[in-house]
């Protein structure tokens, strides 16, 4: 049974988790999504009402103009379902910043969202797309019936626009394990993905991110229903890897919620571990970056998910 705290584990391995100069602003646009995936740490779904307003978008953009942030990483839910998504992307690109979109692929095939693929290509959006496996059984088990076929169709659409082959149109895929286990070696798995997707569907992509399922929200509920929560937490603790610390996203990323609240990462966001108090949360537009770098990173037992095995962050393995 897991008893060690994350802070104690860091100390025992003589590790220090500190900030670097922020280069990524990760914006969670809300919890509305066209899917209800088993592993989702956001509890996103079609009936969620939390969504970013135009006022919040404008305040984020105003703050961003006065920073040297390089990348705006859009996540959700399904970011494209936020009504002001295109306005936000265009404004960020006009600043000369990169935009990364955490796209679930199936949104490209939803009625009313036929614009997504062409819009992303026109604005050079870096697409990071969830694809838990290259076989339909595993994908549909984790993400829902029919999701695999829809995802393949979307990937073929993106490939036809140059994604995965044009250096200006980067397409990365994300692997999450099925159930309570750690991801396999990221580089070896990428070779398998590229071989199988090319051979069976003529699909190409750039990089694969292998991301550990985080014991947060819907995945925690799944683990408890399977009576495997404690064993999974023990697995994460036993596989703690000190070498994973340097590449963790919380070191150079600022996470902002759909209302503008400040967090160290999207996982902390879903756990309500914001900066400031719940009654008076700190807002991004009030943040001074020199102050940010001096603040301690808030941690908890869920952080063992990012530091187990080869490590796991928004960009995949960290070691």
Q: Which of 139, 134, 87, 79 is nearest to 108 (CA)?
A: 79
Q: Is 0.85 surpassed by the pTM of this model?
A: yes
Tokens of 137: 């059984």
- Distance in angstroms (rounded) separating the CA atoms of residues 221 and 234: 17
Helix, strand, coil % in the chain, rounded to nearest 5: 40, 15, 45
Tokens of 111: 């009625």
pLDDT the model gives residue 234: 96
- 286 CB contacts (<8 Å, ≥6 apart)? none
Using 50 as the pLDDT threshold, list the residues of the chain that sit under it: 1
CA R_g for the chain: 19
Q: Which of 171, 219, 161 is nearest to 193 (CA)?
A: 171
- 97 CB contacts (<8 Å, ≥6 apart)? 64, 69, 70, 71, 72
Answer CATH for 6-305 from 3.40.50.11030, 3.40.50.2300, 3.20.20.70, 3.40.140.10: 3.20.20.70
- Distance in angstroms (rounded) separating the CA atoms of residues 6 and 236: 11
Q: Which of 264, 135, 127, 128 is nearest to 209 (CA)?
A: 128
3-class secondary structure, 289? helix
Peptide bond into 77 cis (omega under 30): yes
Count of CB atoms situated within 10 Å of the CB of 206: 18
Question: What residue spans define the domains of the chain?
Answer: 6-305
pLDDT the model gives residue 39: 52
User: Beta strands of 112-242 (E only): which ranges?
Assistant: 126-130, 171-175, 208-210
- Give per-residue pLDDT as tens, 28-69: 999 887 656 555 555 656 767 789 999 999 999 999 999 999
Contacts by 226-229, CB closer than 8 A, 24 or more apart:
226/179, 226/180, 228/179, 228/180
Q: In whole angstroms, how far apart are CA 105 and each of 50, 57, 109?
A: 21, 23, 8
- Distance in angstroms (rounded) separating the CA atoms of residues 140 and 149: 9
Q: Which of 39, 36, 76, 46 is nearest to 220 (CA)?
A: 39
pLDDT the model gives residue 46: 72
């Amino acid at each position: 049974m897991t008893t060690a705290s994350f802070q104690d584990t860091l100390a025992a391995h003589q590790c220090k988790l500190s900030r670097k100069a922020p280069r990524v602003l990760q914006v969670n646009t809300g919890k509305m999504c066209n899917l209800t995936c088993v592993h989702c740490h956001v509890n996103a779904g079609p009936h969620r009402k939390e969504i970013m307003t135009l006022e919040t978008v404008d305040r984020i953009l105003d703050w961003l103009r006065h920073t040297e942030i390089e990348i705006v990483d859009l996540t959700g839910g399904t970011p494209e379902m936020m009504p002001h998504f295109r306005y936000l992307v265009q404004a960020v690109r006009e600043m000369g910043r990169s935009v990364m979109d955490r796209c679930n692929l199936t949104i490209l095939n939803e009625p009313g969202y036929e614009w997504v693929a062409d819009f992303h290509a026109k604005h050079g959006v870096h697409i990071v797309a969830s694809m838990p496996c290259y076989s339909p059984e595993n994908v549909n088990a984790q993400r829902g019936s029919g999701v695999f076929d829809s995802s393949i169709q979307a990937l073929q659409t993106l490939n036809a626009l140059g994604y995965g082959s044009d250096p200006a149109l980067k397409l990365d895929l994300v692997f999450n394990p099925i159930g309570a286990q750690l991801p396999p070696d990221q580089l070896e798995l990428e070779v398998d993905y590229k071989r199988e997707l090319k051979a069976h569907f003529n699909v190409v992509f750039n990089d694969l991110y292998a991301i550990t399922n985080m014991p947060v929200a819907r995945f925690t509920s799944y683990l408890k229903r399977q009576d495997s929560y404690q064993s999974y937490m023990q697995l994460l603790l036993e596989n703690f890897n000190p070498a994973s610390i340097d590449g963790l996203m919380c070191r150079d990323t600022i996470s902002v919620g759909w209302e503008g609240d400040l967090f160290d990462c999207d996982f902390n966001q879903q756990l309500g571990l914001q900066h400031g108090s719940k009654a008076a949360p700190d807002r991004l537009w009030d943040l001074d970056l020199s102050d940010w770098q001096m603040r301690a990173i808030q941690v908890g037992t869920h952080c063992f998910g990012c530091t187990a095995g080869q490590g796991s962050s928004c960009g995949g393995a960290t070691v």
